[in-house]
Amino acid sequence: MRKPTENNNVDEGSVDRLSELFKDLPQEKQKEARRIVNTLTVSHSFSGPLPPPNIVKGYDGVVKNGAERVFAMAESQSEHRIALEKYIVKKELKYNGRAQIFAFVLGVIGLLAATSLAIFGHDFIAGVFATTTIGGLATAFIIGTRAQSQNKDSE
């Protein structure tokens, strides 16, 4: 069985009220009630980069300049996250620029091939090349535009 730990958040009034409630119970029930109370655990949760001020103050009691170190760690993490996001955006822009250049080059090659085929009398195949080239680029553009708009909507 675990030993109860001292909890600074429990005020003396709470302990007195529990003792008052226990006094009317039979001795056997008092022992059982105290055992249950001693095993209770208080849980705190929070969201965000920093814990609440009352918890931050407690870090100074555990580690020298503990609260200052917690703030420094949060600032460092924030700077890291911002740098990472800048890097990702920069790479995405570079990738998108390359993709557009490659799409343009492939489109020109496809249309030149269709034109060459048409000049040499292969009209049907030239039509297939032209249609698939233009259709493929249009489809890729539409799908890419939809994906970007869905990403913006989900943010």
* pLDDT single digits (tens) 96-138: 888 888 888 888 898 899 999 999 999 999 999 899 988 888 8
Cα 70 from Cα 50, distance rounded (Å) = 8
User: DSSP for 90-137?
Assistant: HHHHHHHHHHHHHHHHHHHHHHHHHHHHHHTT-HHHHHHHHHHHHHHH
CA-to-CA distance for 58 and 72, rounded, in angstroms?
16
This model's pTM is above 0.85: no
pLDDT in tens, 24-56: 788 888 788 878 877 776 777 778 777 888 888
- For 55-102, write each residue's pLDDT tens digit: 888 888 888 888 888 889 889 999 999 999 999 999 989 988 888 888
Give 7 or 18, the one with higher predicted confidence. 18
